[in-house]
Structure 1
Amino acid sequence: MGNALRRDRSGTPRVPSWRPVLPILYSFRRCPYAIRARLALCQADVAVALREVVLSNKPAAMLAASAAGTVPVLQLPSGEVIAQSLDIMRWALGQQDADGWLARGDTAGQRALIDTCDGAFKHALDRYKYAERHPERSAHAWRDDAVACLIAPLEAQLSATAHLGGEQPGLADAAIFPFVRQFAAVDAAWWAASPWTATRRWHDRWATSALMATCMHKFAPWQPGASVTVFPP
């Protein structure tokens, strides 16, 4: 567990005799990569010092930790920096995974789905969402690409099981959901009337879950010298 602070199942922090040094998470509330990392931290109930970032004014401390300037970034008390969202998810669940998210949701097949989500689907999603910046094709054409590469395969899987790893959620569900959430929000009326019934049902379960509500808690942007904001709240 290292220096991360755990809570027990009653919600009471397990406070050691020494003062814990929390990992620092640089995050942006609406970023799907940051959402997936925070979902895993919430699920594992591993506390971090959250620093909400304004992307137009990235803090020097974050850039010193990761020159890429993207979120999320997790800086461990040892000085190690984890700058990939999936690696943060696996780190968090490696500390505590009582519900078996890693065993159930990190198989080769599900990793392939995540790769598609982060690759071809994200490419099409960005162009569907910001179609005016990509006039070489219509928004509907980009949407069709997104459906073909990910939404249709999700529908096939979720028509058979409630979640991607079976009847209980796993890492792949939490990794992919934030991007489907973003896709659904581009044209909510179209999404609500779309034929992807099982995927919409899966999306809605995640969107209305207590875990997601905790994950999306609003925090003021971090300023150097500010008091520590512990996440999950």
Structure 2
Amino acid sequence: MTHALPVLYTFRRCPYAMRARLAIQAAHQLCELREIVLRDKAPEFLGVSPSGTVPMLLLPDGTVIDESLDIMRWALTRHDPEHWLEVDDGGWIARNDGPFKRSLDRYKYPTRFDKTDPLAEREKAVAILDEYEERLAWSRCLFRATPSLADMAILPFVRQFASVDADWWSGLARPHVKRWLGEFVSSGRFDAVMLKYPKWQVGDAPTLFGVA
């Protein structure tokens, strides 16, 4: 089946899906949004998605993009008014998606993993945040005064980490990381990508997304 617009399958709280929506919104790429409930995935979604995970972008020609960073780059190579792609992230996104995400999962969901010490994993994640703290002491964002791809790819995961234990986070002395995260979650862009949508079902009227 072909579609006049790209179709973005997403889940509101997923940090991978969040960063895909951030890039699509920043790039002003109009698409049809379909909210997927992870515990009850629509059969039509599973019939298209190679991995069964979100985000997934289905292009009008039938091409499937199911990696969040690839979706971000797809959108931004078409229109990048804030020049997110001009900055080389130097491997920081890979470290977020690797060691930081590994520790985040074991801190947030310790019962899913054997022989896991969630507090030890939390400290591993904080060690990475400390490197952000050093950079953010002299720069508003990780590489410059305005966000780049790295900021928007990483911040949804920092937000998730901060939400695991709000009391502990509030007492953590990392003022620059907290300022960076606070500016992100209080921004109009964050509000725009975090609107709530009902679970998508076949036959629903299209939900348009992506125009600022």
TM-score with structure 1 setting the length: 0.86
Query: Structure 1 segments of 4 or more deviating over 3 A?
Result: 132-135
Aligned to 1:161: 139
Does residue 36 (structure 1) correspond to residue 15 (structure 2)? The answer is no
Structure 1 residues 154-183: Cα deviation after superposition (integer angstroms, max 9, x where no partner): 111111201012111111100000000000
- The whole-number CA distance in structure 2 between the counterparts of 1:120 and 1:222 is 33
Contact 2:89 2:149 in 1 (8 A): no
- The whole-number CA distance in structure 2 between the counterparts of 1:184 and 1:51 is 27
Aligned to 2:38: 55
Q: How does 1:163-182 map to 2 (within 5 A)?
A: 163-182=141-160
CA positional deviation for 1:146? 1.0
Q: How does 1:32-181 map to 2 (within 5 A)?
A: 32-104=15-87, 107-109=88-90, 112-134=91-113, 136-148=115-127, 150-181=128-159
Which secondary structure state, in structure 2, belongs to the residue aligned with residue 74 of structure 1?
strand
Query: Aligned AA for 2:118?
Result: A
Query: Aligned AA for 1:103?
Result: E
Task: Select the structure with the greater relative contact order (CA < 8 A; seq sep ≥ 6).
Answer: 2
After superposition, the CA RMSD in angstroms is 1.4
Which secondary structure state, in structure 1, belongs to the residue aligned with residue 50 of structure 2?
coil
Listed as ranges, the gaps of 5+ residues in structure 2 are none
Identity of aligned residues (%): 46
Listed as ranges, the gaps of 5+ residues in structure 1 are 1-19
Structure 1 residues 105-143: Cα deviation after superposition (integer angstroms, max 9, x where no partner): xx051xx11101101111110110012344624321110
Query: Aligned AA for 1:157?
Result: R
Aligned to 1:9: none
Query: Aligned AA for 1:197?
Result: P
Which secondary structure state, in structure 2, belongs to the residue aligned with residue 224 of structure 1?
coil
CA positional deviation for 1:53? 0.2
- The whole-number CA distance in structure 1 between the counterparts of 2:7 and 2:21 is 12
Q: How does 1:10-21 map to 2 (within 5 A)?
A: 21=4
TM-score with structure 2 setting the length: 0.94
Give the paired residue count.
Answer: 209
